């Protein structure tokens, strides 16, 4: 049985489907601080079977103990965490407590129950401002905000756990920019309030929830001056977790892997691709650079293929089509109105 912390969230809900398709049984543990249980009802509809869900906080040792007592958990996919960069600057203690303390409590309970297999959601943010692209796993690490620092610290903590006890099997998956949604249009990304990320902002502009997109900077050293990122379809990303689980008992190190496509797209390229996929206009205005942004960030994904036999399959058009299907069918996300 696989414990999926944060399984009601964007990436977690898609991973539940991938786990089901690969024949893994799982239980979701989520405090619903940034998700709605509706996502799990929709997952149930897609996979056509009930799923086990426990509402709880990873900082709550007793709640975790009771899950480990009730279910025979042999691996954990650990998505649970807060992820808004700007909010992390305003509320660093909340981020350190939720993400770092939460992970420590989770690992303590795993150790107590002899469960030593963990797949952790890290992020390309740990590369800070990369000196060159594409980014390889052995590039220097740094962080520019408290959110990024929680990922860096957790990576270090997990490495220390492995050093102290090499019977742990740990995979650190460094995601690039997850976008897109399940083909059904039933589940997708449902940000609170005004989206910070590009793709949901574009989608909400196309559906006329927002007047226009602000393009943060057009004077970067990139193809058209706008920022370049490695957008990866969330269904491809979800499958990467299945591959990690399938390999986890054979790894003899803390396996650290980029999950990206290896291709970078600029903001304006994304706008055009989305307009093509949706048949809608996405008006935009050039705005000043956003502080902390880097010009270019895209992965060298070859190590993921070498170690996990995983590579991204879905291209930019499919990412935009699937985001659009989700956005147009659910203009208010999971909210019922
Ligand atoms: P999300 O917010 O949709 O999912 C995270 C889930 O964790 C939510 O359902 C939330 O309710 C839950 N959660 C948060 N704190 C919790 C706690 N203390 N106890 C129990 N549940 C808790 O985010 P996502 O986009 O699905 O991201 C999943 C993971 O991947 C996060 O760790 C995030 O930092 C990481 N990540 C995301 C991105 C991205 O762009 N989406 C990129 C890199 C890494
Ligand atoms: N971006 C933008 N307008 C927005 C949101 C994002 O121009 O409203 C740009 C941003 O500057 C970056 C790219 O889109 O170049 C991706 O931003 P996102 O926040 O989605 O991802 P991250 O910067 O965290 O990789």
Mutate to test the pocket of ligand 2, among 133, 177, 216, 319 (most ligand atoms within 8 A of CB): 216
With 0-12 / 13-18 / 19 or more C-beta atoms within 10 angstroms meaning exposed / middle / buried, residue 173 is: buried
- As a whole number of angstroms, the distance between CA 317 and CA 279 comes to 12
- The answer to whether residue 279 sits within a structural domain is no
Tens of pLDDT, residue by residue over 47-63, are: 999 999 999 999 999 99
CB 5 within 8 A of CB 77: yes
Number of Cβ within a 10 Å radius of residue 285: 9
- As a whole number of angstroms, the distance between CA 282 and CA 271 comes to 7
- As a whole number of angstroms, the distance between CA 264 and CA 313 comes to 15
Number of Cβ within a 10 Å radius of residue 154: 23
SS3 state at 117: strand
Tens of pLDDT, residue by residue over 220-243, are: 999 999 999 999 999 999 999 999
Which residue's CA is minimally distant from atom 1 of ligand 2? 198
Question: Among the atoms of ligand 1, which is closest to the Cα of residue 177?
Answer: 40
- The answer to whether residue 246 sits within a structural domain is yes
Which residue's CA is minimally distant from atom 13 of ligand 1? 80
- The answer to whether residue 267 sits within a structural domain is no
Mutate to test the pocket of ligand 1, among 3, 5, 11, 233 (most ligand atoms within 8 A of CB): 11
Residues sharing a CB contact under 8 Å with residue 135, sequence separation 6 or more, in sequence order: 124, 127, 258, 297, 298, 299, 300
- The answer to whether residue 103 sits within a structural domain is yes
- Tell me which ligand sits closest to the C-alpha of residue 57: 1
Domain count, the chain: 1
Q: Is 31 in the pocket of ligand 1 (CB under 6 A)?
A: yes
Q: Is 123 in the pocket of ligand 1 (CB under 6 A)?
A: yes
Of 100, 116, 123, the C-alpha closest to 170 is 116
SS3 state at 208: coil
Residues in the chain: 337
Proportion of the chain above pLDDT 90, given as a percent: 96
Of 278, 276, 267, 285, the C-alpha closest to 210 is 285
Q: Where are the alpha helices (DSSP H) in the chain?
A: 10-21, 37-47, 61-70, 85-90, 92-95, 102-112, 146-164, 198-206, 234-247, 267-278, 302-308, 316-329
Query: Is residue 296 left, alpha or beta, with left meaning phi > 0 and alpha meaning psi from -120 to 50?
Result: beta
DSSP 8-class letter at 222: S
At residue 292 the predicted structure's pLDDT band, cuts being 50, 70 and 90, is confident
SS3 state at 91: coil
What pLDDT does residue 267 have?
A: 98
Q: Is the pLDDT of residue 126 over 90?
A: yes
Tokens for 144? 């520019």
Q: Which residues form the domain of 95?
A: 2-179+232-260
Q: Is 176 in the pocket of ligand 1 (CB under 6 A)?
A: no
The alpha carbon of 32 and the centre of ligand 1 are apart by a number of angstroms equal to: 10
Tens of pLDDT, residue by residue over 62-115, are: 999 999 999 999 999 999 999 999 999 999 999 999 999 999 999 999 999 999
Mutate to test the pocket of ligand 2, among 197, 234, 286 (most ligand atoms within 8 A of CB): 197
What pLDDT does residue 201 have?
A: 96
- The answer to whether residue 71 sits within a structural domain is yes
Which residue's CA is minimally distant from atom 14 of ligand 2? 198
Q: Is the pLDDT of residue 252 over 90?
A: no
Question: Among the atoms of ligand 2, which is closest to the Cα of residue 227?
Answer: 15
Q: Is the pLDDT of residue 210 over 80?
A: yes
DSSP 8-class letter at 16: H
Number of Cβ within a 10 Å radius of residue 116: 21
Q: Is 3 in the pocket of ligand 1 (CB under 6 A)?
A: no
With 0-12 / 13-18 / 19 or more C-beta atoms within 10 angstroms meaning exposed / middle / buried, residue 163 is: exposed
What pLDDT does residue 190 have?
A: 94
SS3 state at 95: helix
Phi/psi at 266 (nearest 5 deg)?
A: -80, 170
Beta bridge partners of 27: 3, 52
Q: Is the pLDDT of residue 336 over 80?
A: no
H or E segment to which residue 28 belongs: strand 26-30
Question: Among the atoms of ligand 2, which is closest to the Cα of residue 267?
Answer: 14
- The answer to whether residue 99 sits within a structural domain is yes
Question: Among the atoms of ligand 1, which is closest to the Cα of residue 56?
Answer: 20
Known catalytic residues? 147
- Tell me which ligand sits closest to the C-alpha of residue 191: 1
CB 29 within 8 A of CB 109: no
Examine residue 134 and say whether the peptide bond preceding it is cis (omega within 30 degrees of 0): yes
CATH code at position 101: 3.40.50.720
CB 38 within 8 A of CB 190: no
- The answer to whether residue 138 sits within a structural domain is yes
């Amino acid at each position: 049985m696989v414990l999926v912390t944060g399984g009601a969230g964007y990436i977690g809900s898609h991973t539940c489907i991938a786990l089901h398709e690969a024949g893994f049984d799982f239980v979701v543990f989520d405090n619903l601080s940034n998700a709605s249980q509706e996502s799990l009802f929709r997952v149930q509809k897609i996979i056509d079977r009930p799923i086990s869900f426990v509402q709880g906080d990873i900082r709550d040792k007793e709640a975790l103990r009771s899950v480990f007592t009730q279910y025979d958990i042999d691996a954990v996919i650990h998505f649970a965490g807060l992820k808004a960069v700007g909010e992390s600057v305003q509320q660093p203690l909340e981020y350190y407590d939720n993400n770092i303390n939460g992970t420590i409590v989770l690992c303590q309970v795993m150790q107590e129950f002899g469960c030593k297999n963990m797949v952790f959601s890290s992020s390309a943010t740990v590369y800070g401002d990369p000196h060159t692209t594409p980014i390889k796993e052995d590039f220097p690490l740094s962080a520019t905000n408290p959110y990024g620092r929680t990922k860096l610290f957790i990576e270090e903590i997990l490495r220390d756990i492995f050093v102290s006890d090499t019977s742990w099997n740990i995979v650190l998956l460094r995601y690039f920019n997850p976008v897109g949604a399940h083909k059904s249009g039933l589940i997708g990304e449902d940000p609170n309030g005004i989206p910070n990320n590009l793709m949901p902002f574009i989608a909400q502009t196309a559906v006329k929830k927002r007047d226009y997109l602000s393009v943060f900077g057009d004077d970067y050293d990139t193809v058209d001056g706008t920022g370049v990122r490695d957008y990866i379809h969330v269904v491809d990303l979800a499958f990467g977790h299945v591959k990690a689980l399938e390999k986890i008992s054979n790894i003899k190190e803390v396996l650290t892997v980029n999950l990206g496509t290896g291709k970078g797209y600029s903001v304006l390229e994304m706008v055009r691709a989305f307009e093509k996929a949706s048949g809608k206009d996405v008006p935009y205005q050039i705005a000043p650079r956003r502080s902390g942004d880097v010009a270019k960030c895209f992965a060298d994904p070859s190590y993921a293929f070498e170690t996990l036999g995983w590579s991204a399959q879905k291209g930019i058009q499919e990412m935009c089509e699937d985001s659009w299907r989700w956005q147009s069918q659910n203009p208010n996300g999971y909210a019922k109105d």
